Amino acid sequence: MKLMIQWLVWGALAVAIQAQTLNVVQNEFIKIITGPEGFDHPRFSIETTGGDPSREEDNDLPLIYGRPKPWTSYTSIAVDGTVYGFGTQTVKRAGKRAKYGQVIASTVTKNTMETVAIMGPIKGTQRLTLFRNPITNVEDSVLIEYRLINESDATKNVGLRMMMDTMLGTNDAAPFRIGNDAVQAETSYTGDAIMDYWQSFDSLATPNIIAQGILRYTPASLTPPDELILMNWGALADQPYRVKVNKGDSFIRDGEDEPDTALALFYEKRPLGPNEARVYRTVMGLGGVSLAPGDLALGITAPSYISVTDPNIYTMVAYISNTGGFSASSANATIALPQGLTLVTGNQTESLGDILTGGSRQLVYFVKMDPLNATEGPKTITFKVTSNTLPDQVLVREMVFTGQPKLTLRGIGQATIKRGFDQFVDVPVEVSNESDVTVSNVTLSLNATKSPFSIASFDQAKHVIPVLDPNRSEQVSWKLKVDEWHGGTHNIPIQMKSVYTKPATSRIPVQIKLGKPKAKLYYSEPSFFVGDYGYVWITLMDMPTFSGLNLTLTWDGEHLAPIRVSPEPWLIESSTQNAMEMFSATHNALEITRLAAKDPPWRMIIGKWHFKVIEEGDVTVRLWQGGQQLDELTIVLRRQEELLENEKEEKDFDF
């Protein structure tokens, strides 16, 4: 129970606690709050900031309670016979009977809060993200996601329950509106009775705040629960996983005198194999209801946009409330849909009978796109209620038919790795949703099998973007390990696919630079006479498997004339082409191109360059890689009649 005195006391405490310790992610509509590290981390609450722009009354009010810091809502994970609370230990009532593991990481970004916890054999990640509501088309909701991975060697039976301590501002007794029902007592829904979403508001004519939970929405890959439970907070606080539902019981807790509502999304235990992952995903936030006040107040909720090629069935709910002083006798409701949107379930005209003063009705319509008759652009839904006693009431809701979703994939920058600096290279890409429709489960798969790379052992080939909002982009990166140093640019294929788009493959260039190899030149003799023939050995040292290496040998063409090149036998045998095609000479340079070797020895001889001496002098022979010199040696050249001083002494020596 949240009494007014609690609001006054906790309101003062909240100011101090929030300024120092609370983690907050927010925008102009809504905010997510988690408490500091310590007890009850990362339990969360959801509140409005500006709320619905058309209503000032819903500013700065709770949707999921959590003042002065969140603790009354919690998520539990059942693993075989043990029930864990997600996050750190609690000393509060809510979830006190659960067992707790250890939080190992928490991050907060502009739009997201993420926490990783270990619960026995299960590693779980809670991810809270600002979410574009498909009914309002603005980010006034929160995507709540749990990803569980079985890190053990045995299959585990794993289930989950999310419990939310719902509250509409100061109202803890507003009915839950689900399909045709306005729920004001304990109940639960299972199977097909679980609607796509539930809503809660106190008054249709002048609602203080409208809350909404989305349970089923294919573009965001939401996972509807096995059971939706609506009951008093105390029962759900005390029982961390399975709870007995007493349908028809009041929302008032034992020993209290005011309602205290809460709901739970219950997922049965199912086998989860070793290293297998499972994701649970739901949405909570503001409700999108178009309103028409009057003696017969009307409301209707429907998607704000649908793609003309969308194959899914969507739910529309119409609300009718007699707020006047007279009964509406023989009332009828008529729904008019735009061309291309067809009724799957529900009648275009529905007889409502007599609606007494203060009475209400809720109508559910299931609709689906007819792509052959749908055209892109803004459309309207018209809902009309007539009666024999009250004036006709009409409500018009706008929606948009969008085209086929379009995703693009591009590399970010130039992925480059240079030998000698690292063995791993980052390959970042950016995925953009260039359409007006949310796209979920965008799967990116990198294939490194026909490249000199392999995916790092701590990374994976497949990455998934759970939800990509319209006109938004998100970056994904892989870490690749260089297995063979094949110099040059390698185009790595990355496939992108989703439920609503055709698979597409982009080739992202990754450049390998061999860096400066260790090289050494050796001469056959240190000095030669004019007319003599000699050679220079070209060697590399301490090289891995590589390819694409280009070298240049230079000399003074006025002193030395190139004769030929003798590649080493290993080069001739290992080359897939004519080894001599790797070598091309001019009068003063020898180009060596596309040099490659697999598992070379520590000292590797490339070959011999043969020359003839044509002029005396000192000549420097240099080996280059691009503009970088690797080694050099100097050869002394002289004429036959000239003898060095020490040679003369040896010749004149008299024994």
Using one digit for the tens of pLDDT, what is the confidence trace for 623-648? 998 888 999 999 999 987 654 454 44
Q: How far apart are CA 364 and CA 317, in angstroms?
A: 5
pLDDT of residue 641: 62
Query: What are the DSSP E strand ranges found in 543-625?
Result: 546-554, 560-567, 583-585, 589-597, 603-613, 617-625
Instruction: Supply φ then ψ for residue 626, to 5 degrees.
Output: 60, -125
Tell me the domains of the chain and their CATH numbers.
4-286 (2.70.98), 290-402 (2.60.40.3880), 407-513 (2.60.40.10), 518-638 (2.60.40.680)
Collapsing DSSP states into helix, strand and coil, what is residue 648?
Answer: helix
What is the value of pTM for the model shown? 0.71
Say what the pLDDT of residue 10 is.
Answer: 44
For 27, phi then psi, to 5°, come to -135, -160
3-class state of residue 337 by DSSP: coil
Whole-angstrom distance, CA of residue 529 vs CA of residue 527: 7
* Residue 573 buriedness (CB in 10 A; 0-12 / 13-18 / 19+): exposed
pLDDT of residue 4: 44
What are φ and ψ of residue 514, in 5° steps?
-75, -10
**DSSP class of residue 57?**
G
DSSP 8-class letter at 51 = -
pLDDT value, residue 176: 92
Instruction: Give the three-class secondary structure for 359.
Output: coil
Instruction: Say what the pLDDT of residue 422 is.
Output: 75
**CA-based nearest residue to 439, from 313, 310, 280:** 310
Q: Which two tokens stand for residue 273?
A: 């194999």
Beta strands in 375-472 (DSSP E): 377-386, 393-402, 407-411, 415-418, 424-433, 439-446, 453-455, 462-468
Closest alpha carbon to 366 in 455, 446, 302 = 302
Give the Cα separation of 148 and 128 in Å (integer). Answer: 15
pLDDT at 642: 52
Whole-number pLDDT of residue 74: 97
Element (H, E) at 572: helix 569-574
Structure tokens at 358: 């203060």
Cα(484)–Cα(545) distance, integer angstroms: 5
Name the helix (H) or strand (E) containing 298: strand 296-301
User: What pLDDT shows up at residue 308?
Assistant: 87
* Low-confidence residues of the chain: pLDDT under 50: 1-19, 643-644, 646-655
List beta partners, residue 628.
Answer: 625
